[in-house]
Amino acid sequence: MRQHNNLFGLDHRTIILTGGLGTMGVSLSKTLLMQGADIISADLSESPETEVWNPLLATATHTGGQIVYIQCDVTNEDSVAKAFEKAETAARHPIRGLVTLAGISGRCPAIDYPLSAFRKIIDVNVIGTFLCATAAARIFHRQMVSGSIVMFGSMSGTNVNRGVDTAAYNTSKSAVLQLARNLAAEWGNDGIHPAIRVNTVSPGYIIGPMTIPTLEQLQLKDLWEGGNMLGRLSTAEEHQSSVVFLLADGSSYVTGMDLRADGGHCAW
């Protein structure tokens, strides 16, 4: 049974998540289902693994919601177009939100960075975000509904990470912040369609599959924990409420904003 505050409930709307099979995507899908949303989960795999997918199906059954998986390569324009067309067909309720979680990282001294590797990060993190945002906006416009797009940025889009060389990743996340602001300006009040709000969520360091190898190899845990005001790293679960807030009606006057949840790292 769904129990939530209407300001932050997501009943009768469908949310698309790219990168839906990642640690953050799976965790966030469960939270959004609990808030009343239906979910379209998009990722590169042809199909999700049962040990990942079955618990999400169980959550959807418990909440009376729906979760559907669609394969999508966010760097490929045709793949994105087909995936969003399938999403629109599969949705029980109007598609009202998009969360762009698909992203990759990599570390290498800039002077030695292979162009192909640098370009791949830009393709996934920036071009992929752009393609999915515009595909979602077309759906919002066609259905004449207001929508909310939440792009995953990073505090690394506004600062430099100590002890690790990640010029490509940091550059890509800085671009996402500026992309969100520009799309918010274009789609907030075009005089024809309902408003589309576009915001970013910028987490601080998260303990997870993307960061654990770096923490262990470079022995950065103490340095990174000491770099914020809470003295610890975050978990994926701690960034879910930021997304719920930005998707829900309780943030109806919030657009073009970066919600940075970094434990005070950038406030020093």
Query: Phi-psi category of 146—alpha, beta or left, where left has phi over 0 and alpha has psi -120 to 50?
Result: beta
Strands, E assignment, 159-238: 196-203
Q: Is 113 a catalytic residue?
A: no
Identity (one letter) of the amino acid at 192?
I
Q: Identify which of 137, 123, 28 has the alpha carbon closest to the alpha carbon of residue 81.
A: 137
- Selected catalytic residue, list 30, 69, 113, 169: 169
Q: Is 169 a catalytic residue?
A: yes
CB neighbour burial string for 139-170, b if at least 16 within 10 angstroms, e if fewer: bbbebeebbbbbbbbbbbbbbebeebbbbbbb
To the nearest 10°, report the CA torsion of 52, 54, 60, 62.
Answer: -120
Read off the tokens for 218.
């470079």
- Selected catalytic residue, list 30, 69, 113, 173: 173
Within 10 angstroms of residue 182's Cβ, the number of other Cβ atoms is: 11
Q: Which residues are catalytic?
A: 169, 173
